[in-house]
């Protein structure tokens, strides 16, 4: 989930490199903490291109062995669900309690359930 | 995304209600949530000031990197100053989620339109100050920052969590440096005491003006941006520091500093607030030097930022000019040994 604010000019101009007062485009950074874990969003940074973004991400976000792998992506290339984190988009999953294991009553003495 | 909001024509009162409910529940506000304009402005001001403090804060100690007394101390100081740069970047990154650009913030800083912590306007006169800054200045920063990990704005809180983890190294390296000097000669012990005398009051002022003269505190606490008042944090810092000073074998320059059984806290004198306001307004010993240095670095680095952009544009243009070749073989100069998961 990007944290880029839609109102941020740096996010908007990401596709047109250098169009707003020469600011490097914004990248979002994802780090895999160790083998077996997902990449997790850790923050953002500015870089002139993809390779520089990876190098900067190493220096800014992994100075103490915080990661074994880094993804960077232009903030402007991220499509997000909606401006509101509490959007009704997620409402349909709210009333489907039968999707959870605790919905089903099983006698306590049945083993391994 | 902005148009979506306009289509829905949410009533502002309903949005305010949702915002208040989130704050009330001690839940976090995230960048794309609606927020009152004053909340956004307050946060931009506070996070930017915090980010600037980290960046300007590189200077007083950076001065000593080339004159570190040993390779060990030099490696430690380099790592510490690099961390300060990193902290500044985490915070600028958080500020940008509020709809400002990093360039804008830097330009406001060098134009003197945004502030940074006044502690960095005091000079570092000897290497001992590296130790004192680590112990007292970073110690005060930790006191201030630990509660900010639970601040109501998500990205700011997350940046603070990363920063606090690293500040602990800063404080411990400083205290260890001072301990080493205290085990040295009489002259070295005097240097430590002299340095502590100079930094004690400015460190206490880092928590900001007293509560009865801090107009923003009440609103910031109502919004969950701040969770403790300036005076509460200052007291906490004094209570923490006194036993550390005793263990080190130094004293603080305050004859009124003594344990108050009734309050369960140390009493201490009122800092010189006239000095505080003078430094905030630009009349500290190093205000001009710090700002000029930052401005020079910004101006002299402009060609590097522009050259990197021009190079990136050329690479894109080249790749576009030879589409088939680019598909078959990677562009020259690009490292092809990317790990399997660097999803391209």
Say how far apart CA B223 and CA B151 lie, in whole Å. 9
The helix (H) or strand (E) run that includes residue B39 is helix B37-56
Dist CA B19 CA B30 (whole Å): 10
Of the ranges B1-10, B81-90, B143-152, B259-268, which one carries the lowest mean pLDDT score? B1-10
The alpha-carbon gap from B288 to the nearest alpha carbon of chain A, in Å, equals 27
Look at residue A61 in the predicted model and tell me its pLDDT: 95
As a whole number of angstroms, the distance between CA B295 and CA B301 comes to 10
What are the distances in angstroms from CA A57 to CA A52, A67, A93, B265, B307? 8, 10, 36, 44, 20
Q: Bridge partners of A11?
A: none
pLDDT digits (tens, 9 = 90+) for A57-76: 999 999 998 999 999 999 99
* Of B5 and B70, the one with more pLDDT: B70
* Residue B340, beta-bridge partner list: none
**Test the A interface: residue of B19, B80, B96 with most A CBs within 10 Å:** B96
Instruction: Tell me the nearest-neighbour CA distance from A92 into chain B, angstroms.
Output: 20
CB-based contact (8 Å) between B210 and chain A? Answer: no
What are the beta bridge partners of residue A72?
Answer: A29
Identify the weakest region by mean pLDDT among A4-18, B116-130, B216-230, B308-322. A4-18
Identify which of B117, B22, B101 has the alpha carbon closest to the alpha carbon of residue B60: B117
Which residues sit opposite A39 in a β-bridge? A32
Weakest-pLDDT range from A35-39, B10-14, B54-58, B308-312: B10-14
Helix residue spans in B97-229 (DSSP H): 102-110, 128-132, 138-148, 154-182, 186-205, 217-222
Task: Tell which residue, B193, B188, B56, B70, has the closest CA to residue B136.
Answer: B193
As to burial, measured by CB atoms within 10 angstroms (0-12 exposed, 13-18 middle, 19+ buried), residue B207 is buried
Task: Produce one character per residue of B46-55: b if its CB has 16 or more CB atoms within 10 Å, e if not.
Answer: bbbbbbbbbb
Indicate if the pLDDT at residue B161 is higher than 70.
Answer: yes
Q: What is the pTM of this model?
A: 0.85
Interface of A with B in 84-103 (CB under 8 A): 84-86
Band of residue B326 on the pLDDT scale cut at 50, 70, 90:
very low
* Residue A38: per-residue pLDDT: 97
Say if CB B180 and CB B206 are below 8 A apart: no
A36–B contact, CB cutoff 8 A: no
Q: Which of B210-214, B253-257, B329-333 has the lowest mean pLDDT?
A: B329-333
**Which ipTM score applies to this complex?**
0.82
Instruction: Read off the pLDDT of residues A88-110 as tens digits, 9 standing for 90 and up.
Output: 777 777 788 898 888 999 999 99
Helix (H, G, I), strand (E, B) or coil at A74: strand
Contact present, B259 and B244 (Cβ < 8 Å) = no
pLDDT interval class at A85 (50, 70, 90): low
Displacement of CA A84 from its chain's centroid (Å):
16
When pLDDT is cut at 50, 70 and 90, the band that residue B332 belongs to is low
Phi then psi for A79, rounded to 5 degrees?
Answer: -105, 125
B:11-50 residues touching chain A, CB 8 A cutoff: 18, 30-34
Which residue(s) pair with B153 in the sheet?
B29
CB pair distance less than 8 Å for A49 and B89:
no
Instruction: Name which of B4, B89, B103 is nearest A82 (Cβ-Cβ).
Output: B4
Residue of A nearest to B342 (CA): A71
Residue B284: is it exposed, middle or buried by C-beta count within 10 angstroms (0-12/13-18/19+)?
A: buried
In 3-state terms, chain B is what percent helix, strand and coil (to 5)?
A: 70, 0, 30
Largest CA distance in chain A: 70
Q: Could you tell me if A78 lies within 8 Å of chain B, comparing CB atoms?
A: no
Give the C-alpha separation, A45 to A72, whole Å. Answer: 9
8 A C-beta contact, residue B189 and residue B180: no
């Amino acid at each position: 989930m990007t944290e880029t604010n839609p109102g941020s000019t740096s996010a908007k101009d990401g596709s047109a490199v250098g169009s707003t007062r020469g600011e490097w485009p914004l990248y979002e950074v994802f780090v895999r903490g160790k083998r077996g874990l997902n990449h997790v969003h850790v923050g953002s940074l500015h870089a002139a291109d993809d390779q520089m973004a990876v190098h900067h991400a190493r220096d800014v976000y992994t100075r103490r062995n915080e990661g074994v792998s880094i993804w960077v992506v232009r903030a402007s290339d991220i499509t997000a669900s909606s401006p509101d984190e509490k959007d009704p988009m997620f409402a349909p999953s709210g009333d489907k309690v039968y999707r959870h294991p605790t919905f089903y009553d099983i006698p306590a003495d049945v083993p391994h359930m | 995304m902005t148009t979506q909001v306009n289509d829905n024509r949410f009533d502002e009162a309903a949005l305010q209600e949702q915002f208040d409910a989130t704050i009330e529940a001690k839940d976090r506000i995230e960048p794309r949530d609606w927020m009152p304009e004053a909340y956004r402005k307050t946060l931009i001001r506070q996070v930017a000031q915090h980010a600037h403090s980290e960046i300007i804060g590189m200077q007083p100690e950076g001065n000593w990197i080339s004159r570190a007394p040993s390779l060990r101390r030099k490696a430690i100081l380099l790592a510490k100053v690099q961390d300060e740069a990193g902290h500044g970047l985490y915070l600028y990154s958080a500020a940008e989620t509020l709809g400002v650009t990093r360039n804008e913030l830097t330009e406001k800083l060098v134009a003197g339109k945004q502030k940074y912590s006044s502690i960095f306007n005091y000079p570092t006169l000897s290497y001992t100050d590296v130790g004192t800054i680590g112990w007292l200045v970073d110690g005060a920063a930790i006191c201030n920052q630990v509660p900010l990990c639970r601040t109501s704005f998500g990205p700011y809180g997350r940046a603070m969590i990363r920063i606090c983890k690293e500040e602990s190294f800063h404080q411990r390296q400083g205290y260890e440096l001072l301990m080493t000097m205290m085990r040295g000669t009489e002259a070295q012990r005097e240097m430590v005491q002299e340095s502590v005398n100079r930094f004690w009051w400015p460190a206490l002022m880092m928590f900001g003006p007293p509560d009865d003269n801090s107009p923003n505190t009440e609103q910031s606490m109502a919004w969950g941006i701040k969770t403790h008042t300036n005076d509460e944090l200052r007291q906490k810092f004094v209570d923490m520091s006194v036993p550390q000073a005793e263990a080190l074998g130094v004293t603080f320059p305050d004859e009124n500093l003594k344990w108050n059984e009734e309050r369960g806290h140390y009493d201490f004198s009122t800092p010189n607030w006239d000095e505080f306001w003078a430094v905030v307004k630009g009349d500290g010993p190093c205000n001009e030097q710090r700002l000029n240095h930052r401005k020079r670095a910004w101006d002299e680095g402009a060609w590097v930022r522009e050259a990197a952009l021009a190079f990136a544009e050329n690479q894109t243009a080249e790749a576009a000019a030879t589409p088939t070749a680019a598909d078959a073989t990677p562009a020259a100069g690009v490292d092809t040994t990317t790990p399997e998961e660097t999803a391209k």
